[in-house]
């Protein structure tokens, strides 16, 4: 059963279009909205098969509604109905993927052939392989960060982008192909070896396909988490070595987290668990240890020591040094007998 959305600010025309559509097919579900803003709110709740919209309306006109539908990739077929025969409108509508431009007054003679074609044509939804590839890239990065909540959010985002309108068999094929590509991307990191899960049985509904997708993504996250669970010490040593090698540079927690393949929030928790101090505290302590060694060399000027360990601001360096050691750099040198 098809769902159609009629959008027109004139109640009589709106009611007339609803009546014409119900006469065309009594099984059609027809929704009606007075303007583009109300229509877009309805589309966000439930995506229809076809939108028939007027152009001139308050709050949000038909052109803006079509633009928003196209920009959000809802993959909805659109028909513009207007009393204005201006070519500009027709041209703009075409850029937003509008299928037809009809002039008022509309009768069954003009409307029914359009409904025949648009409601019965197959493969009307143009799915972007580029967007799908970009989405898979994001999912791969999110799995590598073991952020399962974000993975689920990405699945919901994908469903809402219009793929749920595909037939079940088409959707299942796209999901299986996507999972195969995802496993290939994960394996290309050459760290762990991922395998495809057992092929899913033929799904009876689109919701079953989505559930299968979530289960497989959860499995990949769990495998990665399990493998890393036995390598905590190695991961920690890798992170610590990277920090030490770049101790004089302004690297961030996010930089180190990306280096070892963990989500920043998880890495922050994990680092404190292993060191009993935060990333910032560890880096500060290592810098001051390096500063103490340089201060023991008489030929080094104190201001140069601060610059050498990554503190471009001398007052800030002396403040941090005293906070960690209880002495200023000058007092520390005097304690060593260096004048």
Residuewise pLDDT in 10s, the chain (339 residues)? 678 999 998 898 889 999 999 988 888 888 999 998 998 888 888 888 889 988 888 888 888 888 888 877 777 888 888 876 655 666 677 777 787 888 888 888 888 988 888 887 644 444 556 677 788 888 988 888 777 888 888 888 877 765 655 667 777 888 888 888 899 888 887 777 888 877 667 777 878 888 888 888 888 888 877 776 645 456 677 788 888 888 888 888 888 887 777 777 777 877 887 788 898 899 899 999 998 888 888 888 888 888 888 888 888 889 988 998 999 888 888 888 877
Same structural domain for residues 206 and 283? no
Predicted confidence at residue 18, as pLDDT, reads 92
Domain of 199 in residue numbering reads as: 129-229
Residue 241 within a domain: no
Same structural domain for residues 166 and 80? no
Residue 264 within a domain: no
Same structural domain for residues 157 and 81? no
- The sheet carrying 3-7 orders its strands as 29-33, 3-7, 50-53, 77-82, 100-103
Same structural domain for residues 218 and 197? yes
Same structural domain for residues 138 and 48? no
**Residue 100: which CATH number?**
3.40.50.2300
- For the entire predicted model, the pTM comes to 0.40
Same structural domain for residues 105 and 138? no
Q: Which of 60, 85, 120 is the last residue of a domain?
A: 120
Residue 261 within a domain: no
Q: Cα separation of 295 and 229, whole Å?
A: 41
SS (H, E, C) the chain: CCEEEEECCCHHHHHHHHHHHHHHCCCCEEEEECCHHHHHHHHHHCCCCEEEECCCCCCCCHHHHHHHHHHCCCCCEEEEEECCCCHHHHHHHHHCCCCEEEECCCCHHHHHHHHHHHHHCCCCCCCCHHHHHHHHHHHHHHHHCCCHHHHHHHHHHHHHCCHHHCCHHHHHHHHHHHHHHHHHHHHCCCCCCCCCCCCCCCCCCHHHHHHHHHHHHHHHHHHHHHHHHCCHHHHHHHHHHHHHHCCCCCCCHHHHHHHHCCCHHHHHHHHHHHHCCCHHHHHHHHHHHHHHHHHCCCCCCHHHHHHHCCCCCHHHHHHHHHHHHCCCHHHHHHHHCCC
Report how many domains make up the chain. Answer: 3
Q: Cα separation of 154 and 158, whole Å?
A: 6
Residue 141 within a domain: yes
Q: Which of 63, 95, 120 is the last residue of a domain?
A: 120
Q: Is 164 in contact with 206 (CB distance < 8 Å)?
A: yes
Same structural domain for residues 64 and 116? yes
Predicted confidence at residue 125, as pLDDT, reads 47
Predicted confidence at residue 200, as pLDDT, reads 60
Same structural domain for residues 53 and 85? yes
Place of tokens 């001139």: 56
Same structural domain for residues 110 and 165? no
Predicted confidence at residue 7, as pLDDT, reads 92
Predicted confidence at residue 165, as pLDDT, reads 58
**Residue 289: which CATH number?**
1.10.10.60
Residue 79 within a domain: yes
Same structural domain for residues 7 and 102? yes
Predicted confidence at residue 129, as pLDDT, reads 61
Same structural domain for residues 150 and 206? yes
The Cα-based distances of 316 to 109, 280, 303, 308, 323 in angstroms read 80, 15, 11, 14, 11
Residue 235 within a domain: no
Q: Which of 229, 251, 285 is the last residue of a domain?
A: 229
Residue 306 within a domain: yes
Q: Cα separation of 264 and 251, whole Å?
A: 13
Give CA 283 to chain center in angstroms. 32
């Amino acid at each position: 059963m098809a769902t159609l959305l009629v959008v027109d600010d004139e109640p009589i025309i709106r009611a007339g279009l609803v009546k014409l559509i119900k006469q065309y097919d009594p099984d059609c579900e027809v929704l009606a909205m007075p303007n583009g803003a109300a229509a877009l709110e309805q589309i966000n709740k439930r995506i229809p098969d076809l939108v028939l919209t007027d152009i001139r309306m308050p709050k949000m006109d038909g052109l803006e509604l079509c633009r928003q539908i196209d920009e959000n990739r809802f993959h909805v077929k659109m028909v513009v109905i207007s009393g204005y025969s201006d070519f500009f409108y027709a041209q703009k509508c075409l850029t937003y993927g509008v299928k037809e431009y009809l002039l008022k007054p509309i009768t069954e003679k003009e409307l029914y052939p359009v409904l025949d074609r648009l409601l019965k044509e197959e493969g009307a939804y143009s799915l972007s392989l580029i967007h799908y590839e970009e989405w898979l890239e994001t999912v791969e990065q999110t799995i590598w960060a073991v952020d399962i909540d974000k993975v689920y959010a990405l699945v919901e985002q994908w469903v809402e982008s219009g793929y749920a309108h595909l037939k079940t068999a088409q959707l299942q094929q796209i999901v299986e192909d996507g999972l195969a590509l995802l496993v290939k991307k994960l394996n290309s990191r050459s760290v762990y070896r991922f395998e495809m899960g057992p092929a899913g049985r033929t799904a009876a509904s689109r919701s079953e396909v989505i559930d299968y997708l979530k289960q497989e993504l959860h499995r990949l996250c769990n495998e990665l988490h399990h493998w890393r669970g036995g390598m905590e010490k190695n991961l920690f040593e890798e992170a610590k070595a990277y920090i030490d090698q770049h101790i004089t540079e302004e690297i961030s927690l996010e930089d180190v987290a990306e280096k070892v393949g963990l989500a920043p929030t998880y890495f922050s928790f994990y680092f404190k668990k292993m060191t009993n101090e935060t990333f910032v505290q560890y880096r500060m302590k290592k810098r001051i240890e390096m500063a103490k060694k340089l201060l023991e060399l008489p030929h080094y000027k104190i201001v140069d020591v601060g610059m050498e360990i990554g503190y471009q601001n001398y007052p800030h360096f002396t403040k941090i040094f005293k906070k960690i050691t209880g002495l200023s750099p000058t007092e520390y040198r005097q304690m060593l007998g260096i004048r």
